[in-house]
Structure 1
Amino acid sequence: MQNPHTYLLPPHGNIPNNQQLPVLVYPQALQASDNLTSAFKDAFARNNWRGSWVNGVFSYHHYHSHSHEALGVAAGSAILMLGGPGGMTCQVNAGDLLVLPAGTGHCLQAASSGFKVVGAYPAGQEAYDICTEADDVEAKRSNIARVPMPKTDPVAGKDGPLLQHWDQA
Structure 2
Amino acid sequence: MNSNEVQAYWFEDDGIIPNNPTLPILLYPGALTEQAELTEKIFNKNNWRNSWINGVFDFHHYHSNAHEVLGVLQGNAIVQLGGEKGKSVEIKTGDVLILPAGTGHKRLASSNDFKIVGAYPEGKEYNLKTENAEDRLQSLEDIPKVILPETDPVFGDHGPLLSEWNVSS
Q: TM-score w.r.t. structure 1 length? A: 0.93
Identity of aligned residues (%): 48
Q: Which amino acid aligns with 1:146?
A: K
- The CA distance in 1 between the partners of 2:32 and 2:40, in whole Å, is 11
Unaligned runs of 5+ in 2: none
Q: Which amino acid aligns with 2:25?
A: V
Verify the 8 A CA contact 2:51 2:123 in the aligned structure 1. Answer: no
Q: What residue number does 1:97 align with? A: 96
**Pairs aligned (count):** 164
- The CA distance in 2 between the partners of 1:22 and 1:93, in whole Å, is 20
Q: Does 1:160 align with 2:159?
A: yes
- Residue 45 of structure 1: SS of its match in structure 2? helix
Q: What residue number does 1:45 align with? A: 44
- The CA distance in 2 between the partners of 1:53 and 1:139, in whole Å, is 26
Q: CA RMSD in A?
A: 1.2
Q: Which amino acid aligns with 2:163?
A: Q
Q: TM-score w.r.t. structure 2 length? A: 0.93
| Equivalence map 1:105-144=2 (5 Å) | 105-125=104-124, 127-136=125-134, 137-144=136-143
- The CA distance in 2 between the partners of 1:44 and 1:5, in whole Å, is 19
Q: Which amino acid aligns with 2:132?
A: A
Q: What residue number does 1:151 align with? A: 150
- The CA distance in 2 between the partners of 1:148 and 1:29, in whole Å, is 24
